[in-house]
Amino acid sequence: MPRSSLLLVPVLTATLAAAPASAQMMKTPEGSAEKASPDKALPDKVAPLAKGQVQLSFAPVVKRAAPSVVNVYASHVETRGQSRSAMDEFMRRFFGENGGRGRGGAPGERAQKSLGSGVIVDESGLVITNNHVIENMNEVRVSLADRREFEATIVLRDPRTDLAVVKIKNPTGGLIPMAFGDSEALEVGDFVMAIGNPFGVGQTVTQGIVSALARTQVGSSDYQFFIQTDAAINPGNSGGALVDLQGQLVGINTAIYSQSGGSHGIGFAIPASMVRAVVETAKGGATAVRRPWLGARVQSVTPDIAESMGLDHPTGVLVASLQPKSPAEEAGLKRGDLILTVDGKVVDDPEAFGYRFALKGLTGQTKFGILRGTGRSTIAVKLGPAPETRPRDTLKVRTRSPFLGATLVNTSPAVAEELQVDFPSEGVAVAGVDEGSIAARAGLQKGDMIVAINGLPIATTKDLERVTRNSLNMWEVSINRGGEVMTSMFGG
């Protein structure tokens, strides 16, 4: 791997940002209606008076942070069967074992590969990266800034935040973890640097500013609350570090806004506050992140709703429904309440609310600032995980039916939370669908609720197993998807 690069900021940029006003050049635009007053003398233009004035650089920050940033190489290797189709045999004879579709891989194997970045966050070898970098992968290698390479194991995946933690196998020492910074203290205009491995060219540093905070309409994870930056981020930067001027981690670079695949100066990073929560979960030995359960559905506040509630502008989230015996109901929340703050932090939309609430952990309580009618108050909400109110009784359908290849479970608040669906009063949840299976071709999706088959209500996986035990020529299936019940016919 190439050596770590040091970013040297152009002298003019650094000087204009840091030099006193008396040493900066001033100029009145031509044709401006305002002219410089003759009574106010313009400061004299002066040459740099000391060596330090022309040596401003972010290099010390980079030297501190760069050793903690790694390259992550992931692959998924499948062993191919011995039988070959006529096309496979044709491609092998004319283009070699890999059929001209890329080099590498042992005979009889097919590999998918992914390239990204990561950040060492613990001396034991824990590395944080993006989930999409290692998604569907079964082999991971980590390359350090000093060119050492190690195999790594996947410790934790959290698709809802697009974060994952891997652990370096048998590290030989010298690992330098990056300290966490305070992403809550960031302000628009603060200098930041992105460090990663764009396009696989080697460790690269780019510099910019925080362009915006709390971006919630990006669409790359369930918990959308991103730092936006104009520091150049490109493919391969995913999972890399966004650092402040103290060389501390304030975000994990995760997405770019681009129509061409290249950087357009609009990049997004997951704030360090969420990253820290995922890392602490991995340090505790858990393989999945559990979050507090509220038991309420919230919606955005439109300008019309804001006006009807006497608000100057849309803010907060509106409580649309409550689940019985949930923390929300027990705390005294009511349908139509407007949640304005979570522990004093303003929330402007459901995404921001979900992010703030998810950070609160599973013990203790949090306080919501609410508006009910014309009165404002504060209520305490107990924190805890979603309950498993009944056994899942996982069913993997293997008889020929529209459900062949689907994994189904009994519903509960815990299952609904994992699948990110509203907890239904009836039905069996689709927890997964095998790619290319009959269930996939029938259009079943993860999160669907099977409520009836051939007119018979389905309340448990045992009901579904009993109904699908015998093959039929036609199947009538009713599915609750996103609150809408659809009934379709399928062939046997």
> What letter does residue 170 receive in the DSSP assignment?
S
Please state, in angstroms and as integers, the Cα–Cα distance from residue 284 to each residue in 278, 384, 446, following that order: 10, 17, 29
Residue type, 68: S
Task: Report helix, strand or coil for 338.
Answer: strand
Cα dihedral 167/170/175/180 (nearest 10): 20
CB-count burial class (<10 Å; 0-12, 13-18, 19+) for 223 = buried
Q: Which of 68, 114, 117, 132 is catalytic?
A: 132
Please state, in angstroms and as integers, the Cα–Cα distance from residue 229 to each residue in 5, 195, 272, following that order: 20, 13, 14
Which residue in 264, 68, 269, 267 sits closest to 186, CA to CA?
Answer: 269
Contact in structure between 17 and 23 (CB atoms under 8 Å): no
For 281-297, b where at least 16 C-beta lie within 10 A, e where not — what string? Answer: bbeeeeeebebbbbbbb
Angle at 231 between CA 212 and CA 2, to 5 degrees: 150
Contact in structure between 457 and 451 (CB atoms under 8 Å): yes
Contact in structure between 356 and 332 (CB atoms under 8 Å): no
Terminal-to-terminal C-alpha distance of the chain:
55
Give the H or E element holding residue 467: helix 461-467
Contact in structure between 409 and 415 (CB atoms under 8 Å): yes
Query: What residues does 489 pair with on adjacent strands?
Result: 476
Enter the tokens of residue 152: 């790594």
Enter the tokens of residue 14: 């650094």
Contact in structure between 277 and 359 (CB atoms under 8 Å): yes
Enter the tokens of residue 392: 């899942």
Residue count of the chain, please give it. 492
Active site residue 238: yes
Give all strands (DSSP E) within 10-107, no chain letters: 69-79
> What letter does residue 180 receive in the DSSP assignment?
B
Q: Which of 158, 162, 230, 448 is catalytic?
A: 162
The catalytic residue positions are 132, 162, 238
